C-alpha cells in the first residue's frame, strides 16, 4: 500500500505536521523515533523531552514542562487518526516515487515524505563519555539531560560544559539538586541570551570557570565521576577539579546521516530547504531543527511543521490520482 504521507520523527515539527495532514484526511503515518544509523536518539518528542520549564511557547502563561507539552501534542494527533509506529527509520530511498522508508526489514512507501528528525546532543569526544558497560562513565555520572538525571546528584557538586542557552538552562535547573554548579566555558564570555545570562549570574549556586576545556574525566575505574582535568586554553595550565557529575551542553548535530547523498545538506549537515520547507527532492519536505540552524525554537519548529503539511496537502491535491509525476521544473 502506497500511503499519501509518511512523517519521519516527532517533536513539535513532526506532531504539528501530523496534526495538519490528519485533519486534511491524508491519513499520515508517523514513525516517531526519528532515524537510526548510530546517532544519539531522544525518541518520541525530541529535544523537549529533556527540557524542563517551557516558558516561551504561546498559550501557557505559567509555562509547561517539555514532556507534558509533547504528550499533549501526541494525544492530539492520535485523536485525529494519525497512525504512529514507535520505532526508528533505518533506511530510506528518495531516488524515485513512491519513496521508500524502512523500519528494520519492514518497508513503507509514500508519495510525500516529511522529515522531522531534529538534532542530537554533541559530546566532548572524550573516551570517558562511552557507556559505563563499555568502560566509560556514560550513564554513571556523565549526562546531556539535566531533567533526566539531575535528581541523582542531590547535594553533590557538579559541572556543566557550555556557554549557550542550553547550558544556562541546565545549570539553573541543576541548582535545584546540586550543592554547587560549576559552568566550564572555553571562552571568557557567554553565548547565551541576555536573560539567561542574568539568571545564571544571579544564582548564588552557580560559578564560572572561564577559558577552560575538559581534558579528562575521572574515574572510570571507580565507575563514577570523581573529578575533571581542566586545561586553561590561554595559559595551558592544567588543574584537577573535584566534581561528582558532568553535564555536557555544547550544542546539537542535525540527525541527517540517513539522508547523505539523497538530499542537499549544508556544510553543517542541516537539510537545505527552499520555500521554507521544500528539500532538494520533489515531494520531500523538512521541518524543525533538522533544517533550522538559526532559531531552533519549539514554536518555529511547530510553524515549519504546519508549513510542510500545508504544502504537502497542496501538492497531493494538485496531482490528484497521478502518483508518479515527473519533478516539476518550478519545485
306 is catalytic: no
In the chain, % of residues over pLDDT 70: 93
Dist. CA 246–CA 225, nearest whole Å: 8
Pair 187, 163: CB distance under 8 Å? yes
Confidence at residue 324, expressed as pLDDT on a 0 to 100 scale: 55
Structure confidence by residue, pLDDT tens digits, 224-265? 999 999 999 999 999 999 999 999 999 878 999 999 999 999
> Is 148 known to be catalytic?
yes
| Residue 145 a catalytic site member | yes
pLDDT higher than 80, residue 20: yes
What distances in angstroms separate CA 80 from CA 21, 280, 288, 310, one per listed residue? 9, 30, 22, 16
Q: What is the pLDDT of residues 287-315, one digit of tens each?
A: 999 999 878 789 999 999 999 999 999 99
Q: Which candidate in 93, 148, 188, 323 is catalytic?
A: 148
Which tens digits make up the pLDDT trace of 24-42? 999 999 999 855 443 344 5
Bridge pairing between strands 142-143 and 53-54: unpaired
Of the residues 53, 145, 211, 257, only one is catalytic, namely 145
CATH class of 2-120+252-319: alpha beta
| Digit-coded pLDDT (tens) for 263-278 | 999 998 999 999 999 9
* Calpha distance 144→301 (Å, rounded): 21
- What is the model's pTM? 0.77
Structural domain 123-248, CATH architecture: 3-Layer(bba) Sandwich (3.50)
Domain residue spans in the chain? 2-120+252-319, 123-248
How high does pLDDT run on average in the chain? 91
Q: Is residue 308 helix, strand or coil?
A: helix
DSSP labels for 81-116? T-EEE-S-B-EEE-SSSSEEEEETTEEEEEEEEEE-
Q: Which of 32, 149, 289, 292 is the catalytic position?
A: 149
Amino acid at each position: 500500500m502506497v500511503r499519501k504521507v509518511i512523517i519521519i520523527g516527532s517533536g513539535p515539527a513532526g506532531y504539528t505536521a501530523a496534526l495538519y495532514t490528519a485533519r486534511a484526511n491524508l491519513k499520515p503515518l508517523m514513525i516517531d523515533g526519528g532515524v537510526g544509523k548510530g546517532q544519539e536518539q531522544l525518541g518520541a518528542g525530541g529535544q523537549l523531552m529533556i527540557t524542563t520549564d517551557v516558558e516561551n511557547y504561546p498559550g501557557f502563561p505559567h509555562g509547561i514542562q517539555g514532556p507534558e507539552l509533547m504528550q499533549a501534542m501526541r494525544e492530539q494527533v492520535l485523536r485525529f487518526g494519525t497512525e504512529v509506529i514507535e520505532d526508528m527509520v533505518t533506511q530510506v530511498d528518495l531516488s524515485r516515487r513512491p519513496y521508500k522508508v524502512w523500519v528494520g526489514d519492514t518497508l513503507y512507501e509514500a508519495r510525500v515524505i516529511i522529515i522531522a528528525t531534529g538534532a542530537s546532543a554533541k559530546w566532548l569526544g572524550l573516551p570517558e563519555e562511552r557507556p559505563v558497560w563499555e568502560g566509560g562513565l556514560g550513564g554513571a555520572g556523565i549526562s546531556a539531560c539535566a531533567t533526566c538525571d539531575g535528581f541523582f546528584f542531590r547535594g553533590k557538586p557538579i559541572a556543566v560544559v557550555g556557554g549557550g542557552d542550553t547550558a544556562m538552562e541546565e545549570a539553573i535547573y541543576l541548582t535545584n539538586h546540586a550543592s554547587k554548579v560549576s559552568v566550564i566555558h572555553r571562552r571568557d564570555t557567554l553565548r547565551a541570551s541576555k536573560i539567561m545570562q542574568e539568571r545564571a549570574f544571579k544564582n548564588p549556586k552557580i560559578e564560572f570557570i572561564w577559558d577552560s576545556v575538559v581534558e579528562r574525566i575521572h574515574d572510570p575505574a571507580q565507575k563514577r565521576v570523581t573529578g575533571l582535568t581542566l586545561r586553561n586554553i590561554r595559559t595551558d595550565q592544567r588543574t584537577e577539579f573535584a566534581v561528582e557529575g558532568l553535564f555536557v551542553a555544547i550544542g546539537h548535530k542535525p540527525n541527517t546521516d540517513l539522508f547523505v547523498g539523497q538530499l542537499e545538506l549544508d556544510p553543517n549537515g542541516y537539510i537545505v530547504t527552499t520555500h521554507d520547507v521544500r528539500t532538494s527532492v520533489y515531494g520531500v519536505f523538512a521541518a524543525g531543527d533538522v533544517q533550522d540552524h538559526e532559531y531552533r525554537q519549539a514554536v518555529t519548529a511547530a510553524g515549519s511543521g504546519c508549513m510542510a503539511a500545508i504544502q504537502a496537502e497542496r501538492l497531493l491535491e494538485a496531482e490528484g490520482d497521478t502518483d508518479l509525476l515527473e519533478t516539476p521544473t518550478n519545485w
